[in-house]
Amino acid sequence: MHFTGLAPLVSLVAEGEAGGDPVAGRTPILPLWGELIFGIIAFGLLYYVVAKKVVPNLEKAYAARAAAIEGGMAQAEEAQAAAEAAKAQYEAQLKDARTEASQIREDARAQGTAIVTEMRGQAQAEATRITEAAHRQIEAERSQAAASLRLEVGRLSTDLASKIVGESLHDETRQRGIVDRFLAELESGTLKAQKVES
């Protein structure tokens, strides 16, 4: 196998060994003094720039980030404490509202019972009043009917007796006495049937 791309490199190495290259006889691990001094100066400058410019900025950014995280955690804790306080207040208000609603229901139930009892008493009193008024009216009408019936019975009795006796019995005083006596005997049960002689 023949590599054509490596030929120039091999020729350069061969020239370096044969020609006057000062690096050719040295150990490849040890650098040259000029390169070493230049590397140390470059490293010092890089270290100085990083130490004076980059690290303080990183420290500031780290401190700001840590403060933000701590502040965020503190704010989160405060928000959580506020949320728990709001929840406790809400639960207390809900408990108070339930207690108040229960009290209102009990008051309404008691008022309803009192109203029903009062209305029942009023209805009973009204029913009693109406019943008593009806009894009085019935008694008055009964008395009036009895008096009217008494007069009618008396008049009919007088007319009948007048026809039987053959004389007028329409004298009021006499009629009233006869009718009252007849009705009294009729009510007491002492009226006896008498045989009429013809």
Q: What is the pLDDT of residue 84?
A: 92
Evaluated on CA atoms 100, 105, 108, 114, the torsion sign reads negative
pTM: 0.36
List the domain boundaries for the chain: 36-186
Q: What is the pLDDT of residue 41?
A: 96
Q: Is the separation of the CB atoms in 181 and 190 below 8 Å? A: no
C-alpha–C-alpha distance, residues 126 and 119, integer Å: 10
Q: Is the separation of the CB atoms in 132 and 141 below 8 Å? A: no
Residues in the chain, pLDDT under 50: 1-3, 6, 9-10, 12-14, 16-18, 198
List, for residues 88-117, the tens digit of each pLDDT value: 999 999 999 999 999 999 999 999 999 999
Q: What is the pLDDT of residue 173?
A: 56
Give me 26's structure tokens: 């040295």
